[in-house]
Amino acid sequence: MIDIKFLRENPEIVKENIRKKFQDAKLPLVDQVIELDAKNRSAKQEADDLRANRNKISKEIGALMAQGKKEEAEAKKAEVAAGAKRLAELEESEAELQEQITKIMMTIPNIIDDSVPIGKDDTENVEIEKFGEPVVPDFEVPYHADILDRLNGLDKEAAGRTSGNGFYYLMGDAARIHSAMISYARDFMINKGFTYCIPPFMIRSNVVNGVMSFAEMEAMMYKIEGEDLFLIGTSEHSMIGKFKGQIVEEKSLPITMTSYSPCFRKEVGSHGIEERGVYRVHQFEKQEMVVLCKPEESMDWYNKMWSYTVEFFRSLDIPVRTLECCSGDLADLKVKSCDVEAWSPRQKKYFEVGSCSTLGDAQARRLGIRTKGENGTYLVHTLNNTVLATPRGLIAFLENNVNEDGSVNIPVALRPYMGGLEKVLPKN
């Protein structure tokens, strides 16, 4: 959510930003919120004047009573009563206007960084850089569900009986590799100086509204029936929510955290849920990184964060590339974002395994996360990035480490988490 003062003083910049995001239907909202804001500020000013006048008259009443001028004092009291009625009306009007303003402001997209490429959707995202040589082996790489099947590692049929479509059982060596990757991702980030955290897996609606847009919430979040609780779609939600309403010490910045959690997503949209594989599912596990920092440091942290994900995947012998998200592919709160994509030797193309974003002060403004320095109190900047989301990361691992006989190589970095194994063998 952008600063209403900025919108008030720079309406054309805000409108141009909306155009860059191809959300022209939102253009009238800028003038609408300016009009509501003017009414709200006028109501506030009148209310402040009435309060000041009430205080002045109250003193006059006291003086008149002391002088025995009861009739004049009673007239002043009537004046106070009339002002009180008007003040109540203004306070009610202020609350209604502020609610309308906030609702609109939460739908107006954040100002994107000047470096973001302009494009309508993800088809216009721009490749930045490749890391590692994409290799296509001289044998046909099986579909990941078939690799898992040879390891006796996947049972979607049983998960369908217990939970429905979009769920899965991982078993045996497949489950072990999955857990090893998560453990390695945790230690990888701890070694980068990040504080490890396991957050709550459910959050209240006021935290959800603070970390994401309404559209994202509807498409992603599962609500707990009868409770003001939602299952998290990523641990970023509860990690940022941890600081809701807080003033963090400036000397503690940057706050760098890496968090583990299961994640739950409806996956509403055109992509649908796979029948056989586990690329798009309702439940997965994730190692995330979250940073709170000073505004002037946020872009440096953005570049560090995505580079950590690249380094992590390269240590597992997985070629990757970075892809700059264009304006139309950015969620409304994001200032800038890039995806890390892993090479798929089966499909002979890259697919997304992580996403890094800086949100400027948008989440901090919604949640009231501030810091206090020599020049006063100001909003922090928040960033988040995927270290590893699996089973999607598991798919990349399997495709890039599978052998023709169905065995799977274990890279050196992962062997300590696999009991020293250099390879897992097929079971059928």
CATH of span 122-424: 3.30.930.10
pLDDT tens readout for residues 271-318 = 555 667 899 899 999 999 999 999 999 999 999 999 999 999 999 999
pLDDT of residue 425: 96
DSSP conformation class of 141? P
| DSSP H or E stretch at residue 223 | strand 222-223
CA atoms within 13 A on the CB side of 159: 18
The closest of 388, 391, 386, 392 to 413, measured between CA atoms, is 388
The single residue listed with the structure tokens 């860059």 is 20
pLDDT tens readout for residues 113-122 = 999 999 999 9
Pairing of strands 336-344, 320-324: antiparallel
- β-sheet bridge partners, residue 131: 320
Report, as an integer, the average pLDDT of 210-220.
79
Contacts by 95-101, CB closer than 8 A, 24 or more apart = 97/36, 97/39, 97/40, 97/43, 98/40, 100/36, 101/4, 101/33, 101/36, 101/37, 101/40
- β-sheet bridge partners, residue 289: 258, 385
Amino acid at 30: V
The region that residue 219 occupies, defined by phi over 0 for left and psi between -120 and 50 for alpha, beta otherwise, is alpha
What is d(CA 393, CA 183) in angstroms, rounded to the nearest whole number?
Answer: 13
- Looking at domain 4-105, which CATH architecture does it have? Orthogonal Bundle (1.10)
User: Within its chain, how far is the Cα of 405 from the centroid?
Assistant: 41
Are the C-beta atoms of residues 27 and 15 closer than 8 Å to each other? yes
What is d(CA 224, CA 213) in angstroms, rounded to the nearest whole number?
Answer: 19
User: Within its chain, how far is the Cα of 71 from the centroid?
Assistant: 64
What is d(CA 284, CA 339) in angstroms, rounded to the nearest whole number?
Answer: 18
Instruction: Give 60's pLDDT tier (boundaries 50, 70, 90).
Output: confident
The closest of 344, 385, 381 to 364, measured between CA atoms, is 381
Report, as an integer, the average pLDDT of 152-157.
95
Q: If DSSP codes are grouped into helix, strand and coil, which group holds residue 357?
A: strand
pLDDT(393) > 70: yes
CA atoms within 13 A on the CB side of 176: 17
What is d(CA 139, CA 154) in angstroms, rounded to the nearest whole number?
Answer: 23
Amino acid at 238: S
Instruction: Give 320's pLDDT tier (boundaries 50, 70, 90).
Output: very high
The closest of 240, 362, 373 to 294, measured between CA atoms, is 373
What is d(CA 357, CA 354) in angstroms, rounded to the nearest whole number?
Answer: 10
Are the C-beta atoms of residues 84 and 57 closer than 8 Å to each other? no
What percent of the chain shows pLDDT beyond 90?
Answer: 80
The closest of 110, 124, 102 to 37, measured between CA atoms, is 102
Could you tell me the pTM of the whole model? 0.89
Are the C-beta atoms of residues 64 and 72 closer than 8 Å to each other? yes
- β-sheet bridge partners, residue 255: 292
- β-sheet bridge partners, residue 376: 373
pLDDT(139) > 70: yes
Listed by start position, the domains of the chain span: 4-105, 122-424
| Mean pLDDT across the chain | 92
What is d(CA 113, CA 383) in angstroms, rounded to the nearest whole number?
Answer: 14
- As given in the structure block, the two tokens for residue 253 are 């910045």
Burial string for 291-308 (b: 16+ CB within 10 Å, else e) reads: bbbeeebbbebbebbbeb
pLDDT of residue 270: 41
pLDDT(358) > 60: yes
Which of 35-39, 54-58, 252-256 comes out lowest in average pLDDT?
A: 54-58
The closest of 134, 157, 161 to 145, measured between CA atoms, is 157
Rg (CA), the chain: 28
Which of 80-84, 157-161, 241-245 comes out lowest in average pLDDT?
A: 80-84
